[in-house]
Amino acid sequence: QKEVEQNSGPLSVPEGAIASLNCTYSDRGSQSFFWYRQYSGKSPELIMFIYSNGDKEDGRFTAQLNKASQYVSLLIRDSQPSDSATYLCAVEGGFKTIFGAGTRLFVKA
């Protein structure tokens, strides 16, 4: 069965620091990778997607993909208290998307 693994956390970082969230996946044939942010009591919202090896930057967010190692990560620079949420890693699996269980991030003011 295809799997996506994340450290459940919580990951606690001080305001202004870099938060690093990591994810590994089992299906070597996966082509698309997504990061969703989910605030408590809300539904997930897409914040980043990446298809190619390397880095992709969008504002304070950087997604990193290493297909050889089956590893994808999300870096959040200059972390803010408003970034406190659960971050879900998701990997395309044909018609379906396989989600990790999420990493809880706390940014301390």
Partner 1 sequence: DVKVTQSSRYLVKRTGEKVFLECVQDMDHENMFWYRQDPGLGLRLIYFSYDVKMKEKGDIPEGYSVSREKKERFSLILESASTNQTSMYLCASTPGGANQPQHFGDGTRLSIL
46 binds partner 1 (CB under 8 A): yes
Query: What are residue 83's phi and psi, to 5 degrees?
Result: -80, -10
Q: Which residues pair with 93 in a beta bridge?
A: 96
> Cβ(98)–Cβ(91) under 8 Å?
yes
The interface region with partner 1, picked from 21-29, 32-40, 58-66, 71-79 by CB under 8 A, is: 32-40
3-class secondary-structure state, position 82: helix
Q: What angle do CA 6, 84, 70 make, to 5 degrees?
A: 20
The interface region with partner 1, picked from 21-29, 54-62, 63-71, 87-95 by CB under 8 A, is: 87-95
31 binds partner 1 (CB under 8 A): yes
CB of 24 to partner 1, least distance (A): 14
Q: Is 31 exposed, middle or buried (0-12, 13-18, 19+ CB in 10 A)?
A: exposed
The interface region with partner 1, picked from 9-17, 58-66, 72-80, 94-102 by CB under 8 A, is: 94-102
* Residues within the interface to partner 1 (CB under 8 A): 8, 31-32, 34, 36, 42-46, 49, 51, 88, 90, 92, 95-97, 99-102
